[in-house]
C-alpha cells in the first residue's frame, strides 16, 4: 500500500514537473494563442475595414471639393521671389533659382501617376498654388506647389537668400523636430543656406503642417515679382533622384535652374554646354 501511494505521488510530481517545464509552458501558450487568434480575426478585420472606409470617405469628401483648376504657369516661377512670413512677423525672402516639374497622372515619377489618390497626395489635385510638404528619409521636408493639370506640381529645389539671412542661419542651426540647438553651430555661407530641397525647408521653416495651405491666400507665404530685371539663362535638364521611374521619364528635361547661380543645388554640365 505504501509503495502504491508513493508511486502515485511520484507520478503526480513528475506530471507536475512536466507541466511546468519550458516545453510544456510553450505548448500551453501556443494553444492559448491559437484559441485567441481564432476569435480575433473578426474583430481585426472589422476594425481594418472600418478604417479603410473612413479613409476612402475622407478622400471622396476632399475630392468633391475640388474644381477644375485653371492652368497656372507655376513651372515658370523661376526667378520669382518666395516670401515667408514667420509667426513672429519676421520676413524671409529668396529668389527661386531651381525647380522641377511633375506632370501628374501621365508622369511615372509623380506621386499621382495613373491617377493614384491617397490621403498624402491630395494637395497635388487641389487648386494651383496649394502647398504639399512631405518627408523624405523620414526626417527631411520637401516642398511642392500644385499647378495646372491633373495631379501636377512644381518641386522647389533651391532659392537664393535675399532677406532675413540671419534668421535663415538660425533656423538651419536648429533641429527641425525639437528646436534644440545642434552641438556645433555652423556659420553657413549664404549660397549654402537654401541650395537644396530640405535645406530650403529648414531655412524658411516650412513644415509638413503647412500642407494644403494656399499660396494664393495664406498670409504666411506667397510669391512676388522679382524687381531685378537683368537677363538670365535657364538650364533645362533631367530631374534628380528618379531613376526608379524608368529611363524615359528619368531623362525628360523637366528640371530648370538659373545658369551660373551659386544657390543651385546641382549643376548639369552637359546641359550647360549648350550655352557655350
| pLDDT tens-place string over residues 149-202 | 789 999 999 999 999 999 999 999 985 444 444 545 678 999 999 999 999 999
Backbone angles phi, psi at 88, to 5 degrees: -90, 5
Asked if residue 33 belongs to a domain, the reply is no
For the chain, what is the domain count?
1
Cβ atoms of 190 and 226 closer than 8 Å:
no
Answer whether residue 11 shows pLDDT above 70. Answer: no
**Helix ranges restricted to H, 71-164:** none
C-alpha cell at 15: 506530471
Q: Let me know if residue 15 belongs to a domain.
A: no
Which residues lie below 8 Å from residue 10, measured CB to CB, with a gap of 6+? none
161 membership: H or E segment, kind and range: strand 153-163
Exposed e or buried b per residue across 42-58, where buried means at least 16 C-beta atoms within 10 angstroms of its C-beta? eeeeeeeeeeeeeeeee
> What pLDDT shows up at residue 154?
94
8 inside domain: no
29 assigned to some structural domain? no
Mean pLDDT of 128-142: 91
Instruction: Confirm whether 145 is domain-assigned.
Output: yes
Each residue of 207-217: pLDDT tens digit?
999 999 999 99
Note the pLDDT of residue 31: 57
Whether residue 35 lies inside any domain: the answer is no
Q: In the chain, what is the straight-line distance between the N-terminal and C-terminal CA atoms, in Å?
A: 112
Query: 1 in a domain, yes or no?
Result: no
Helix (H, G, I), strand (E, B) or coil at 152: coil
Can you tell me the distance from the alpha carbon of 255 to that of 237, in angstroms, rounded to the nearest whole number?
5
C-alpha cell at position 219: 498670409
Q: What is the dihedral of CA 123, 126, 193, 269, to 10 degrees?
A: 100
Within-domain flag for 204: yes
pLDDT over 50 (residue 21):
no
Is residue 32's pLDDT more than 70?
no
Q: Is the confidence at residue 265, as pLDDT, over 60?
A: yes
pLDDT of residue 77: 64
- 153, 151, 229, 161: which is closest to 190 by C-alpha? 161
Which CATH number does the domain housing residue 149 bear? Answer: 3.10.300.10
More confident call, 45 vs 210: 210
What pLDDT is stored for residue 13 in this prediction? Answer: 43
Of 188, 214, 212, nearest in space to 202 by CA: 188
pLDDT score at 187: 84
Phi first, then psi: give them for residue 222, nearest 5 degrees.
-160, 180
Whole-prediction pTM value? Answer: 0.71
Q: Which residues of 18-128 form beta strands (DSSP E)?
A: 81-85, 91-102
- Domain around 60: 53-273
**DSSP letter assigned to residue 122:** G
**CA of 11: how far to CAs of 5, 16, 18, 24, 28, in Å?**
10, 9, 11, 17, 20
CB 99 within 8 A of CB 239: no
CB 268 within 8 A of CB 237: yes
Q: What is the predicted pLDDT for the residue at 7? A: 40
* Cβ atoms of 262 and 246 closer than 8 Å: no
Amino acid at each position: 500500500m505504501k509503495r502504491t501511494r508513493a508511486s502515485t505521488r511520484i507520478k503526480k510530481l513528475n506530471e507536475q514537473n512536466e507541466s511546468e517545464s519550458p516545453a510544456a509552458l510553450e505548448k500551453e501558450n501556443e494553444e492559448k494563442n491559437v484559441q485567441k487568434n481564432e476569435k480575433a480575426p473578426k474583430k481585426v478585420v472589422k476594425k481594418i475595414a472600418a478604417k479603410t472606409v473612413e479613409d476612402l470617405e475622407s478622400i471622396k469628401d476632399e475630392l468633391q471639393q475640388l474644381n477644375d483648376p485653371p492652368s497656372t504657369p507655376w513651372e515658370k516661377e523661376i526667378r520669382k521671389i518666395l516670401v515667408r512670413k514667420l509667426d513672429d512677423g519676421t520676413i524671409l525672402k529668396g529668389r527661386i533659382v531651381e525647380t522641377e516639374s511633375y506632370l501628374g497622372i501621365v508622369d511615372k515619377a509623380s506621386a499621382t501617376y495613373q491617377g493614384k489618390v491617397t490621403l498624402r497626395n491630395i494637395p497635388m489635385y487641389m487648386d494651383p498654388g496649394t502647398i504639399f510638404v512631405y518627408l523624405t528619409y523620414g526626417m527631411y521636408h520637401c516642398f511642392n506647389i500644385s499647378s495646372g493639370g491633373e495631379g501636377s506640381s512644381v518641386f522647389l529645389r533651391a532659392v537664393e537668400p535675399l532677406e532675413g539671412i540671419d534668421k535663415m542661419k538660425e533656423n538651419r542651426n536648429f533641429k527641425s523636430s525639437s528646436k534644440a540647438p545642434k552641438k556645433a553651430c555652423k556659420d553657413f555661407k549664404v549660397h549654402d543656406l537654401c541650395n537644396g530641397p530640405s535645406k530650403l525647408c529648414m531655412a524658411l521653416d516650412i513644415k509638413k503642417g503647412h500642407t494644403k495651405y494656399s499660396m494664393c491666400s495664406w498670409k504666411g507665404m506667397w510669391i512676388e515679382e522679382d524687381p531685378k530685371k537683368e537677363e538670365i539663362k535657364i538650364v533645362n535638364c533631367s530631374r534628380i533622384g528618379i531613376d526608379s521611374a524608368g529611363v524615359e521619364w528619368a531623362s525628360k528635361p523637366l528640371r530648370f535652374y538659373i545658369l551660373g547661380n551659386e544657390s543651385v543645388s546641382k549643376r548639369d554640365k552637359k546641359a550647360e554646354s549648350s550655352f557655350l
